[in-house]
Amino acid sequence: MNDGTGEKIAWVTGAGKGIGRALAKKLVAQGYVVAVSARTRDDLSSLASECPPGRILRYPLDTTDPVRTEEVVASIEAEHGPLDLAVLNAGTHTPMTAENFSVDVFRNLVEVNLMGTVNGLSQILPRFIDRRSGHVAVVASVAGYRGLPTSAAYGATKAALINMCEALKPEIEAHGVRLTLINPGFVETPLTDRNDFPMPFLISAEAAADHIATGLNRSAFEVAFPGRFAFLMKLMRILPDRLFFALTRRMIAK
């Protein structure tokens, strides 16, 4: 699919900062015309100014708004042609301990991380399935592998995304649509700046974008990085509970 010029069209949500912003630039460098969405218009404008003219298409969006999400996807395809790739990356993080357990924090993370992605999928999947083509990428996190201290809400949303993608993959691939699950570890962004604990194997947003762009060009279902950290997190999934909780107790701030 393309816009009539032979160029591929991608859509990246959460493109104002961090991984989404770096990935949008990477996709432009690979030849895509990239529609970018974020809540902050100034972030999208500055992103466009850092890329060659006409390569970044700005569509401000709060992904928790299903009506606006429908309008944005329809506008992108009406104005620039069918999408080839959609990267549903928008997300947020608020640390939450048992002592400050909050319904409002939990609800906000569910709305942004989970339902924001669901809103995007609800518009993308019917189009891709109807055309029997297209590539969807969902950004979750290695934090969704097992529950970690201060991440009861964040990790729950990411675990839900992982489970959802695993359920969807065989169904949508039967219609010729690709699905890639992206599970980053710690990436240096405004969100991780909120963390007050050591972050092992921390990488830059640009390095994360390189991992994602490379992974999107491969046939693997999951793109997890950095490799050593992803391996350790996967290992924790199979640890006996006694050993797992012995480790996570050490993560609790004294």
Closest CA to 123 of 65, 173, 57, 175: 65
Would residue 154 show up in a list of annotated catalytic residues for this protein? yes
> Rounded to an integer, what distance in angstroms lies between the CA atom of residue 20 and that of residue 23?
5
Handedness of CA 97, 102, 106, 109 (dihedral sign): negative
Q: Give the per-residue pLDDT at 121.
A: 98
Q: What percent of the chain has pLDDT over 70?
A: 92
Looking at every residue in the chain, the average pLDDT score rounds to 93
What is the model's pLDDT at position 191?
67
R_g of the chain computed on alpha carbons = 18
Burial of 112 (0-12, 13-18, 19+ CB in 10 A): buried
Enumerate domains of the chain plus CATH numbers: 9-249 (3.40.50.720)
DSSP 114: I
Higher-confidence residue of 5 and 97: namely 97
Count of CB atoms situated within 10 Å of the CB of 84:
19
Tell me the per-residue pLDDT of 16-47, one tens digit each, with 9 for 90 and over. Answer: 999 999 999 999 999 999 999 999 999 999 99
Q: Which tops the pLDDT comparison, 246 or 254?
A: 246
Please write the tens of the pLDDT for every residue from 50-90: 999 999 999 999 999 999 999 999 999 999 999 999 999 99
The model carries a pTM of 0.92
- Has residue 195 got a pLDDT over 70? no
The one catalytic residue among 32, 59, 145, 154: 154
